Structure 1
């Protein structure tokens, strides 16, 4: 299922990592009713993560958010296109 995704290119793409971080942190903060300002210590962040793992709604929300970051909506199913599978690095747009 997820083997038809060009992971080596995604791992090299900083945008992918930003999407993953937001996909994990946002549902946790919203689900706990927390704010960025509440995460002022590592202990507070750890407590939020621990509380989130114990909340099935937050866990399902995080899974759904991460799933949305991984799948390519321009292809059928969960795989990357054949063209995307041939890339060795994220494709750069050519200047017009």
Structure 2
């Protein structure tokens, strides 16, 4: 699995998608609403419950894996063109 990590890590949307790939399955499984997360202790308690639940851990792993895969290429790797990028490609 060849991924151009240097370029992906330079893209701020990578981090937004990564956070969503982790938070969405956890929030969905536990039925979390915004008003449930008003203290740091509530957030840490939710994180602890998520890490201790094998189903949630597997769901998060699958979510992160599917977000990492480039759907425009065959297989799991970036395209040979994407592997040559030095920065995220912009529109021309």
TM-score by length of 2: 0.94
The DSSP-based 3-state class of the residue aligned with 1:47 is helix
* Moved >4 Å (runs of 4+): none
Could you give the per-residue CA deviations for residues 10-48 of structure 1, whole angstroms, max 9, x where no partner exists? Answer: 001111111000010111111112112211111111000
Instruction: Give the unaligned 5+ runs of structure 1.
Output: none
The DSSP-based 3-state class of the residue aligned with 1:46 is helix
Query: What pairs with 1:1-96 in structure 2 (closer than 5 Å)?
Result: 1=1, 4-94=2-92
Quote the Cα distance in structure 2 between the aligned partners of 1:71 and 1:42: 32
Quote the Cα distance in structure 2 between the aligned partners of 1:68 and 1:15: 15
The DSSP-based 3-state class of the residue aligned with 1:82 is coil
8 Å CA contact 1:23, 1:66 repeated in 2: yes
Alignment: residue pair count: 92
Root mean square deviation of aligned Cα: 0.9
The DSSP-based 3-state class of the residue aligned with 1:93 is coil
